[in-house]
Amino acid sequence: MHERAGQPAQEQDLIDVDQVVAAYYDRRPDVDDPAQQVVFGTSGHRGSSLDGAFNEAHIVAITQAIVEYRAAQGTDGPLFIGRDTHALSLPAWQTALEVLAGAGVTVMIDARDSFTPTPAVSQSILLHNGATSDDGVRTSGPGLADGIVVTPSHNPPRDGGFKYNPPHGGPAGSDATGWIAERANELLRTGGLSRVRRVALDTALTASTTHKHDFLSSYVDDLANVLDLDAIRESGVRIGADPLGGAAVEYWGAIGERYGLDLTVVNPQVDPRWSFMTLDWDGKIRMDCSSPHAMASLVAAMRPDDGGSAPYDVATGNDADADRHGIVTPDAGLMNPNHYLAVAIQYLYGGARPGWPAGAAIGKTLVSSALIDRVAAGLGRTLTEVPVGFKWFVPGLLDGGIGFGGEESAGASFLRTDGRVWSTDKDGLLLALLAAEIIATTGRSPSQHHADLVAEHGESWYARVDAPASREEKARLAGLSPDQVTSTTLAGAEITARLTEAPGNGAKIGGLKVTTADAWFAARPSGTEDVYKIYAESFVSADHLAEVQSAAKQVVGDALA
């Protein structure tokens, strides 16, 4: 823990924006260095121009690869492209548009020449492809749309990011991202960038294939079909929405005005240095709305120094591309993301959405809290447990097989009130507004509802820690089979399951999950550091959680020996 975690950023913590942008254009990546190659994680390619990991050459190569990939897939409709507020997002957006226009791709850019949240891009893709038609979303055939979001999500200000969303509207799967990354690296390695057709920015902006699209109105006007905004307005719930300097900044004001909500945009400032942020746990500026350190200012605002009442009934935060949510209540402060997911599920499936399919399952990632398992059992609903990554929820959200999909890192989405798909990417604005709907319709805060769930299902202690691992050990961990786990107990309890595949869809989890009646842990190798991540939870005590974490290292160590 950094000594200034949770404290306001100081001048020495801030990036030099001109330096970061200049490096984007001036630095040439070393394609022989794995750290400077194109790598798609669960949320696209990310890196810093200062490290040679996110530079103009990368974006030319990735965009050209996307052009070729979508052509090979027969995707010939419009490509919706949005960007967030990071310093590198505008340069990368411009580069991508130059390549897309050069290739003759029909591109839909923001009509306001402004920022676009990830869920708004997903929603626009899905609407174009038939989300509200009786036949549902088309994912094959002529005229289909796809999209790009230029964002590194909650990453520090020095970083850039680039995500591709195919016609299903959600994060691209590994088949797509693997092909795109391999082709992009080939272009970088073989000098293929010189053959990429690219036009000047002014030409790209005025090209016959470039069109303006009102992402904001499309998204805001459609919200009434997924939330009970009338109840929020009529109840007078006071909402404090903090976009944390991200792409949701203009959306929150528009939502409040469009639906007559008592909604205050807590901080409308946009600064690519994020000078107004408090430092995260490691002393970095990071727009992580699930972190109590990054959210310290908003949490403090809900607890006035004079002991008076909180200014809002609920305060919310979003990361830079608004695909994550943070929920702050007067009685509990910042809610643990797992706790809020469980509350949202109990509320939505407990009678708030009678128009949903009767068999709609509950989707969770396998490192999310087992409280969700207990809530699902109490509701009599099927639980679909998938590997880490929101892409695994896409098929279920598309066809209504999953009503709600959520992951432990504060990302989730759910169906429209009539049971049709809303978004297939995470939607932080949606989950933030759901907290206000819960208050409006039940008269109680999400944190009070969580207390009810604890009383019914038991209290749990959850944490993630890292353990050192070499590259070879990480590779072995990712390839484990259940029979390599010889341990029969975990922290004194009998092991009930050893998983290397997700029970919800049989997909490889790239690691190991071990469960007992009252605890579990999951171990997954880091893609960027020489560590593996241990997620663990205990329904016994905080001390027992520590025992589980210690035992997890032993179990993994024995399996890798």
Catalytic residue set: 153
- The pLDDT assigned to 480 comes to 87
Of the pLDDT bands very low, low, confident and very high (cuts 50, 70, 90), residue 73 is very high
The mean per-residue pLDDT over the stretch 228-246 comes to 98
Is 60:93 a contact under the CB 8 Å cutoff? no
- The pLDDT assigned to 519 comes to 97
The angle subtended at Cα 413 by Cα 349 and Cα 334, nearest 5°, is: 90
Is 387:365 a contact under the CB 8 Å cutoff? yes
In the chain, the amino acid numbered 58 is H
The pLDDT of residue 528 is above 80? no
Least confident of 93-97, 102-106, 140-144, 321-325: 140-144
Share of the chain above pLDDT 70, in %: 100
Q: pLDDT by residue (tens digit) across 12-52?
A: 999 999 999 999 999 999 999 999 999 998 778 999 999 99
For the chain, how long is the longest CA-to-CA vector?
Answer: 68
Of the pLDDT bands very low, low, confident and very high (cuts 50, 70, 90), residue 308 is confident
> What token pair was written down for 420?
């049709």
Q: Kindly list the domain boundaries of the chain, sorted by start residue.
A: 11-218, 461-560
Domain 11-218 belongs in CATH node 3.40.120.10: yes
- Picking from 189, 181, 180, the residue whose alpha carbon sits closest to that of residue 29 is 189
d(CA 112, CA 101): 19
- 3 state SS of 163: strand
d(CA 547, CA 536): 10
The pLDDT of residue 305 is above 80? no
Count of CB atoms within 10 A of residue 514's CB?
Answer: 25
The pLDDT of residue 270 is above 90? yes
CATH of region 461-560: 3.30.310.50
The pLDDT of residue 115 is above 90? yes
The pLDDT of residue 241 is above 70? yes
Q: pLDDT by residue (tens digit) across 406-420?
A: 999 999 999 999 999
Q: Please enumerate in sequence order all residues whose Cβ is within 8 A of that of 555, keeping only pairs 6 or more positions apart, or say none.
A: 485, 487, 490, 512, 514, 521
Q: pLDDT by residue (tens digit) across 456-486?
A: 999 999 998 888 888 888 898 999 889 888 8
The mean per-residue pLDDT over the stretch 242-258 comes to 98
The mean per-residue pLDDT over the stretch 54-82 comes to 98
Average pLDDT, the chain: 96
Q: pLDDT by residue (tens digit) across 337-389?
A: 999 999 999 999 999 999 999 999 999 999 999 999 999 999 999 999 999 99
Of the pLDDT bands very low, low, confident and very high (cuts 50, 70, 90), residue 203 is very high
d(CA 412, CA 424): 9
The mean per-residue pLDDT over the stretch 205-218 comes to 98
